[in-house]
């Protein structure tokens, strides 16, 4: 029982002394990274990995903390466009990855109440779809009551190993996903292919559509960012054609559909090869990674901005959230 106590003391220190230090000293940009925002009672919350979601009440609490602390909130591209001397002492930028419909349903109305701008990083080919990522599909299969491990499951079971009877718990499902991550995305999608009929009857649209995006951009202070066309991780070895599609075409598609310039890019999974980084630098004003940290004058690279990922378990009290804002693990 020592460990939780140490953790709690550490969080309190980070949330008080650490946060006090962050608010003073050198100029800083804290970029918050959110994925999904859902009520815990929503089935979509239960079918999501714990590390990918905050509850709607946790998110509202985060915004209340930022408001009470009188933090300057602006988008990464607004901040990047300012001359260094005009940047506030402390800025928080709010970012959402992937383009989830729940951001529109549960986060943007809260942001509007506080008049906080944010950036939504959309995967252009994934709009208006059921959850397109394999972890969501796997969790649907493992957690839905009543499913049987039929012949169609064999390719997946070859990757996961023998599974206990379904449905699994959310934590068991998350452990299976962790285990699957040793395999390449293409291998996992191929193993899921025979299960597409099963999945089709247990899914709903979970990504934002064009009309909702238009409303978000027009009425909710949301800035459009690009998160590739199909969420390829931009690692070494991708062809020049694929890099062009994921980095340049995605931008053109989003700009044409929304009649506005897209200035900000988000690297899927935080991965980038030198070639991918170069292309992003040529076409965007700024880009965000998944590398954890606070941006300061000393480490600032606007094409590789550090972020702080937040999900429910690590940020569901104001003290834990302040500890996260301070850059604590
Ligand atoms: Zn993503």
- The DSSP secondary structure of 267-284, one letter per residue, reads -GGG-B-HHHHHHHHHH-
What residues pair up with 207 in beta bridges, in sequence order? 100
Whether 235 and 267 have beta carbons less than 8 Å apart is answered as no
Task: Examine the domain organization and report whether 210 and 175 are in the same domain.
Answer: no
Question: Which pLDDT belongs to residue 191?
Answer: 97
Q: How far is ligand 1, taken at its centre, from the CA of residue 290, in Å?
A: 10
**Residue whose structure tokens are 């499951």:** 153
How far is ligand 1, taken at its centre, from the CA of residue 227, in Å?
Answer: 7
What is the C-alpha separation between 74 and 196, in angstroms, rounded? 41
Span from the CA of 97 to the centroid of ligand 1 (angstroms): 5
Q: What's the rounded Cα separation, in Å, for the pair 148 and 162?
A: 13
Query: What's the 302 CA to ligand 1 centre distance in angstroms?
Result: 19
Query: Residue 141 belongs to what domain range?
Result: 134-200
CA of 164 to the centre of ligand 1 (A): 30
Bridge partners, residue 119, by sequence: 95, 223
Task: Answer yes or no: do 172 and 277 share one domain.
Answer: no
Same domain, 67 and 96: yes
The verdict on residue 188 lying in a domain is: yes
228 occurs within a structural domain: yes
Average pLDDT of the residues of the chain: 94
Cα 39 to middle of ligand 1, angstroms: 21
pLDDT at res. 1: 54
Asked if residue 195 and residue 211 are part of one domain, the reply reads no
Q: How many angstroms separate the alpha carbon of residue 21 from the centre of ligand 1?
A: 31
Residues 32 and 81 in one domain: yes
On whether the CB atoms of residues 108 and 94 are closer than 8 A, the answer is no
Is 118 in the same domain as 165?
Answer: no
Asked if residue 211 and residue 96 are part of one domain, the reply reads yes
Low-confidence residues of the chain: pLDDT under 50: none
């Amino acid at each position: 029982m020592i460990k939780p106590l140490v953790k709690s003391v550490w969080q309190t220190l980070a949330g008080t002394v650490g946060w006090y230090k962050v608010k003073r000293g050198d100029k800083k940009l804290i970029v918050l990274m959110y994925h999904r925002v859902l009520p815990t009672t929503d089935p979509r919350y239960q079918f999501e990995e714990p590390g990918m979601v905050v509850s709607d009440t946790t998110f509202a609490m985060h915004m209340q903390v930022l408001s009470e602390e009188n933090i300057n909130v602006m988008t990464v591209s607004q901040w990047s466009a300012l001359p260094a001397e005009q940047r506030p002492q402390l800025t928080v930028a709010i970012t959402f990855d992937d383009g989830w419909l729940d951001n529109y349903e549960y986060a943007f109305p809260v942001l509007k109440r506080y008049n906080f701008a944010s950036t939504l990083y959309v995967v252009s080919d994934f709009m208006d779809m059921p959850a397109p990522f394999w972890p969501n599909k796997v969790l649907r299969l493992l957690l839905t009551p009543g499913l049987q491990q039929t012949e169609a499951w064999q390719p997946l079971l070859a990757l996961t190993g023998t599974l206990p009877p379904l449905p699994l718990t959310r934590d068991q499902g998350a452990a299976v996903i962790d285990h699957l991550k040793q395999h390449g995305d293409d291998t996992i999608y191929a193993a899921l292919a025979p299960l597409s009929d099963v999945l089709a009857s247990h899914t709903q649209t979970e990504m934002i559509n064009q009309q909702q995006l238009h409303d978000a951009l027009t009425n909710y202070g949301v800035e459009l960012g690009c998160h590739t066309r199909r969420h390829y991780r931009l690692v070494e070895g991708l062809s020049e054609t694929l890099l062009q599609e994921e980095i340049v075409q995605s931008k053109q598609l989003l700009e044409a559909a929304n009649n506005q310039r897209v200035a900000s890019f988000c690297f899927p999974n935080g991965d980038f090869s030198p070639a991918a980084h170069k292309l992003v630098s040529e076409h965007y004003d700024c880009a965000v990674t998944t590398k954890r940290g606070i941006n300061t004058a000393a480490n600032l690279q606007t094409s590789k901005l550090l972020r702080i990922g937040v999900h429910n378990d690590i940020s569901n009290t104001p003290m834990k959230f302040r500890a996260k804002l301070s850059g604590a693990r």
